[in-house]
Amino acid sequence: MAQGLRRMIEALRAAAEPTRLRLLAICAEGELTVSEITHIVGQSQPRVSRHLKLLCNAGLLIRFREGHYVLYRVPAKGEGATLVQQLLSLLPDEDEQLQLDNGRMEKIKSERARRAADYLRFNSEDWSRLREANVADSEINHIIVELLDRNNIGDLLDVGTGTGRMLKLLGGHAESAVGIDLSPEMLAVARSNLHAAGLNKIMVRRGDMYGLPFPDNSFNTVTVDHVLYLADDPPKAVREAARVLRSDGQLLVVDFSRNGGGGHDIPGVSDDSLQQWFEAAGLHCADLRHLDGSSLKVVLSVAVMQQRRGTAVA
């Protein structure tokens, strides 16, 4: 028997059980902790954990750790993702048990959204003040769409994802998308925002921009949105972003410009510094734009591998 056929049969056997089918439907809605899954299905944690392990071993779910928590989700792409999607398309929408599961899932999403809003309300005063002096998101988004070829986003990584804003903007055009952030609280905010937007296939992970948890040449597009101006070592962060970028990839940097003015104590990023960081990382600045806010300026730049030189800087 061919190996591919054997894997499919094993996966189908793993899924061919009522609780495990429910778990696949639940985890297709996004990333969930064991306790959240246990609450939804109404079974003991040991029993749920055993089902989850079988599904992970069959490649139908993936498991990852975030701080003290372990989360589960359906793979974003690959054979397992395709098989789960096909299986779930056959489930009857009117099934009473699945409807109950969906109702409990919605309550979990609502609770996540409430906690995310509370966290932002108590921790975002300084950021809100900056946003008021900054360029409107709609203007920034318009330039981002101009700078990036949305038909070729491919596999997307958002470094320092924060609220998940960049993932919401570009994730729907990507083959796969993942955001990393060091803050568990901000990851919870991003996860809630992505769920609310219906972008359940997008993943967020805890990770360090100076040591990205991915192999070389993993992504077609890497975005770094309002991160470098706060970084202790921006050149290192750019080098690490370049490391995971594929040879035909694109790196987008959006940040406050050092020339913003207005008396705000914001380090910002200068055009010269950006180009030096790109060059040191083996990148070429293919395009660079500025937008003026009420008292701050934003710089947006796209860099590509140096062997792709040829696009003039705007």
Residues of the chain with CATH 3.40.50.150: 125-308
Task: Specify the pLDDT at position 124.
Answer: 58
| Cross-strand bridge partners of residue 59 | none
pLDDT tens for 163-176 read: 999 999 999 999 99
| Terminal CA-CA length for the chain | 57
Residues of the chain with CATH 1.10.10.10: 3-112
Pick the CATH number of 3-112 from 1.10.3720.10, 1.20.1730.10, 1.10.10.10, 1.10.287.110: 1.10.10.10
Q: How many CA atoms lie within 13 A of 201 on its CB side?
A: 18
The CATH architecture assigned to 125-308 reads: 3-Layer(aba) Sandwich (3.40)
Q: Is the pLDDT of residue 262 over 70?
A: no
What's the pTM? 0.76
**pLDDT band, residue 313 (cuts 50/70/90):** very low
| Residue that the structure tokens 């969906």 belong to | 102
Helices (H), 42-136: 45-57, 79-89, 96-123, 125-133
Considering the chain, what percentage of its residues have pLDDT values greater than 90?
Answer: 59
| Strand ranges of the sheet holding 32-33, from the earlier edge strand across to the other edge | 32-33, 69-73, 62-66
Lowest-confidence pick of 5-19, 122-136, 227-241 = 122-136
